[in-house]
Amino acid sequence: MIYFISIFIFFIAQAQDLEIPDQLKKPPMAENSILIADDKAVTPKSIILIIADGAGIGHYTLSYYANEKFSPSHFQHVGLVATHPNDGFKKVADSASSGTAIATGQKTYNGAISVNDRGEPIETILEIANRMGMSTGIVATSSVTHATPASFIAHIDSRKKEAEIARQMAKSNVDVIFGGGANFWSDDIQEILRDNNGQYITDIDESHNPSKRIVGLFNEGPMSSHSEGRSPTTTEMAKRALSILDNNTGGFFLMIEESQIDWGGHSNDPEYIKGEMQSLNDLIDMCLQYQLENQNVLVILTGDQESGGVAIHDGQEGNLDVQFTSDYHSANFVPIWASGPGAHFFDAMMDNTMIGKQLIKYVKNR
């Protein structure tokens, strides 16, 4: 009955040009009751956040049955995340709005990079971590100026403005930026980077001045896919980033994005997804091994949204029949996995902003 009354109010309001109540415009926030209290015993010194872009339950199911290993099973805690944007009646987010929600703890409209609906900058967790004396980094298999990595560093009204995003990254205080997208880093932007104590490399093994920030771009566009022999691999980039960031006794925050799982969903390509999920397995193995050796590190794995509406069915002769409902994103929930100090917070159903809010709380209360 409440549902029909709500719909009735909505249509009457539309017909008479009345203001529609906010509770009828937006879905409720699936919040995890309260944030964890300021308990130093469960506050991590450092955080590794892995974003498997586009990976929902269907992608993990495909990986579980199609790949030789299923590394997410080694996490200690698991929950579910709602990913809708703050964009009218829309339930389906893009990587800009969902990346912003995770990076800042606040929702915004699709296409926005860490700005609110008035275009005002929202402080990101990397900026807060820098202010708190932590080292910071991002790794991505897309262009580093793509929506998800951009949401952790830049502030702009449209994700499409990648040259300006690169300019903001060059001026930022982020210590490590690894991935693709050299075509957005023109000579003048590289000069801005050097003027802001930065070093630019194109080879993962190139030496690095530890007193400088480092930007490593290893392809003109996005990195090659895993099945095409990505080099350096996601794990190799993440290892190099960790070797730089963990020299800071004040801790670090590292975001690693397996960007191209999303693209496999967009192209409705099960083999593409399978390869990128295998890359994710390798990355998880490395990060959880690092966490075992560094018990004060929290490792989190989640997605910014689901891509493709992936579902797994029985095919002929034991093969998988992978079906798709879309070549775009869906509103399907995505899983969240965690291990390390403070990981138990993520044993819940939550809104994506709660991830950002809790991680920011951890960073501020170390």
The verdict on 11 and 105 lying in the same domain is: no
Grouping H, G, I as helix, E, B as strand and the rest as coil, residue 256 is: strand
The verdict on 278 and 354 lying in the same domain is: yes
Kindly indicate the confidence band of residue 5, based on its pLDDT and cuts at 50, 70 and 90.
very low
Tokens of 40: 């130093």
Tokens of 288: 């959880």
**Do 332 and 56 form a contact (C-beta atoms < 8 A)?**
yes
Total number of domains constituting the chain: 2
Burial of 76 from C-beta contacts in 10 A (0-12 / 13-18 / 19+): middle
pLDDT over threshold 80, residue 341: yes
The verdict on 223 and 104 lying in the same domain is: yes
The verdict on 261 and 136 lying in the same domain is: yes
The angle that helices 270-293 and 57-66 make with each other, rounded to 10 degrees, is 90
Considering the chain, what is the average pLDDT of its residues? Answer: 92
The verdict on 118 and 151 lying in the same domain is: yes
The verdict on 11 and 68 lying in the same domain is: no
Q: What is the pTM of this model?
A: 0.90
Indicate the length of the chain as a whole number: 366
The verdict on 176 and 280 lying in the same domain is: yes
Give the separation between CA 212 and CA 210, rounded to whole angstroms: 5
pLDDT over threshold 50, residue 24: no
Tokens of 47: 């955080």
Please identify which residue in the block is written with the tokens 């003048």.
188
Q: Which of 6-10, 39-43, 207-211, 349-353 has the lowest mean pLDDT?
A: 6-10
* Percent over 70 (pLDDT), the chain: 89
Grouping H, G, I as helix, E, B as strand and the rest as coil, residue 1 is: coil
Please identify which residue in the block is written with the tokens 């000069």.
191
Tokens of 215: 């930007």
The verdict on 76 and 217 lying in the same domain is: yes
pLDDT over threshold 80, residue 212: yes
Q: Which of 10-24, 191-205, 249-263 has the lowest mean pLDDT?
A: 10-24
pLDDT over threshold 80, residue 34: no
Please identify which residue in the block is written with the tokens 């771009």.
217
pLDDT greater at residue 15 or residue 62: 62
CATH of the domain at 280: 3.40.720.10
Res 40: pLDDT: 63
Kindly indicate the confidence band of residue 35, based on its pLDDT and cuts at 50, 70 and 90.
low
Mean pLDDT of 8-28: 45
The verdict on 325 and 297 lying in the same domain is: yes
**Do 49 and 359 form a contact (C-beta atoms < 8 A)?**
yes
pLDDT greater at residue 262 or residue 31: 262
pLDDT over threshold 90, residue 53: yes
The verdict on 21 and 109 lying in the same domain is: no
Please identify which residue in the block is written with the tokens 């308990």.
39
Tokens of 341: 């100090």
pLDDT greater at residue 39 or residue 322: 322
**Do 146 and 138 form a contact (C-beta atoms < 8 A)?**
no
Give the separation between CA 269 and CA 266, rounded to whole angstroms: 8
pLDDT over threshold 70, residue 28: no
Q: What tens digit of pLDDT does each residue of 63-100 get?
A: 999 999 999 999 999 999 999 999 999 999 999 999 99
Give the separation between CA 268 and CA 274, rounded to whole angstroms: 11
Count of CB atoms within 10 A of residue 20's CB? 14
Q: What tens digit of pLDDT does each residue of 111-165 get?
A: 999 999 999 999 999 999 999 999 999 999 999 999 999 999 999 999 999 999 9
The verdict on 301 and 281 lying in the same domain is: yes
CA atoms within 13 A on the CB side of 259: 28
The verdict on 231 and 316 lying in the same domain is: yes
Q: Which of 10-19, 121-130, 256-265, 310-319 has the lowest mean pLDDT?
A: 10-19
Range of the domain at 37: 31-364
